[in-house]
């Protein structure tokens, strides 16, 4: 479950000039994984909630890296649905 997020963290980070948004998301993912590891030692239900957030962020980053950027412009372009 968390292993996929840890794999994403193991990849080399892009430079700030190349893709700052991905780099920021990877930094946030690193913080979320740390939160999960702390919560895992104290409260199983809280760890499950944090794990769900980690998995959601990891999936969003994975889609982002494969070119499926999920901006609002893909859904509503100048008022079109």
- Count CA within 13 A, CB hemisphere, residue 10: 6
**pLDDT for 47-60, tens place per residue?**
999 999 999 999 88
Q: How many residues are recorded in the chain?
A: 81
Q: How many angstroms separate the CA atoms of 56 and 49, rounded?
A: 11
Q: How many angstroms separate the CA atoms of 27 and 74, rounded?
A: 25
Structure pTM?
A: 0.71
Domain extents for the chain? 3-10+20-69
pLDDT at 18 over 70: no
* Predicted pLDDT at 23: 84
Let me know: does 36 contact 54? Beta carbons within 8 Å: yes
Let me know: does 16 contact 23? Beta carbons within 8 Å: yes
């Amino acid at each position: 479950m968390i292993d996929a997020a840890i794999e994403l963290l193991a990849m080399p980070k892009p430079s700030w000039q190349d893709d700052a948004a991905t780099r920021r998301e990877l930094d946030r993912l690193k913080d979320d994984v740390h939160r999960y590891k702390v919560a895992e030692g104290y409260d199983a239900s809280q760890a499950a909630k944090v794990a769900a957030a980690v998995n959601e962020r990891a999936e969003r980053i994975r889609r982002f890296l494969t070119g499926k950027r999920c901006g609002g412009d893909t859904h509503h372009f100048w008022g079109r649905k």
